[in-house]
């Protein structure tokens, strides 16, 4: 029994350096055992929004995403050339196809980040997600409003772990990075 406890502790240490705030389904635990690192937390840096007063399509969101456990670092942005995807058409891909986001100011307001868990595996794919609510300092001009997060960096926890909807897999494979 003691040896089994040590094995479980080691497997948990390999899967994430931080404690997980979600439950890993039993049908996905084999991926964890194969040295997969699960997303536990993330860092959003330089979060900025722009809301155009006359043309909503010119509004934008941008930030830098990093996950210290999986070592993913990427730029995320939504602007006039971005194409949304997903059933509700409000999720946008980042430069790394394993990361996507939703930013909304109504309903459940805030920035929701999703990260594919153990990308490249076969079978049912999962993603972790987490929500942060940046406190913003905003400046109004005659053409629009620019807002910056009051904190340069905001740490968030992934607190949900769900199967990736089939359409999302296609969405993320089709992403192209714009300069």
| CATH label of the domain that carries residue 10 | 2.40.350.20
Q: How many domains does the chain have?
A: 1
For residue 41, what are the contacts with CB-CB under 8 A and spacing of at least 6? 18, 67, 68, 69, 130, 155, 156, 157, 158
Residue 3 to residues 7, 31, 34, Cα–Cα distance (Å)? 6, 21, 19
pLDDT computed for residue 165 by the predictor: 73
Q: And the tokens for 95?
A: 């430069």
84 in any annotated domain: yes
pLDDT computed for residue 164 by the predictor: 85
Residue 26, domain extent: 2-173
39 in any annotated domain: yes
Low-confidence ranges of the chain (pLDDT < 70): 1-17, 30-34, 86-88, 121-123, 166-179
154 in any annotated domain: yes
pLDDT computed for residue 121 by the predictor: 67
87 in any annotated domain: yes
77 in any annotated domain: yes
pLDDT computed for residue 78 by the predictor: 95
Q: And the tokens for 162?
A: 């769900």
Helix (H/G/I), strand (E/B), else coil: 88: coil
How far is the C-alpha of 125 from the C-alpha of 32, rounded, in Å? 13
What one-character DSSP code corresponds to residue 140?
A: E
Helix (H/G/I), strand (E/B), else coil: 173: helix
Q: What are the pLDDT digits (tens) for 129-148?
A: 999 999 999 999 999 999 99
Q: pTM value?
A: 0.81
The β-bridge partners of 92 are 101
The phi and psi torsions of 26 (rounded to 5 degrees) equal -60, -30
Report the length, in residues, of the chain: 179
116 in any annotated domain: yes
Q: What are the pLDDT digits (tens) for 50-69?
A: 999 999 888 999 999 999 99
DSSP string, 27-44: GGHHHHHTTPPPP-EEEE
pLDDT computed for residue 18 by the predictor: 74
**Sign, CA torsion 5/6/7/13:** positive
179 in any annotated domain: no
Helix (H/G/I), strand (E/B), else coil: 99: strand
pLDDT computed for residue 27 by the predictor: 74
């Amino acid at each position: 029994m003691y040896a089994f406890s040590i094995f479980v502790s080691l497997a948990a240490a390999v899967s994430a350096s931080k404690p997980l705030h979600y439950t890993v389904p039993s049908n996905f635990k084999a991926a964890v055992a194969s040295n997969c690192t699960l997303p536990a937390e993330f860092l959003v840096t330089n979060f900025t929004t722009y809301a155009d007063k006359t043309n909503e399509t010119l509004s934008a969101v941008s930030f830098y995403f990093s996950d210290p456990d999986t070592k993913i670092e990427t730029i995320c942005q939504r602007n006039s050339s971005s194409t949304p995807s997903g059933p509700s058409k409000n999720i946008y891909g980042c430069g790394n196809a394993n990361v996507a986001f939703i930013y909304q100011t109504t309903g459940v307001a805030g920035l929701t980040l999703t990260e594919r868990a153990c990308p490249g595996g076969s079978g049912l794919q999962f993603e972790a997600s987490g929500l942060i609510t940046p406190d913003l300092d905003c400046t109004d001009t005659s053409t629009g409003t620019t807002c910056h997060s009051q904190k340069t960096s905001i740490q968030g926890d992934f607190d949900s772990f769900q199967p990736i909807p089939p359409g999302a897999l296609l969405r993320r494979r089709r992403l192209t990075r714009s300069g």
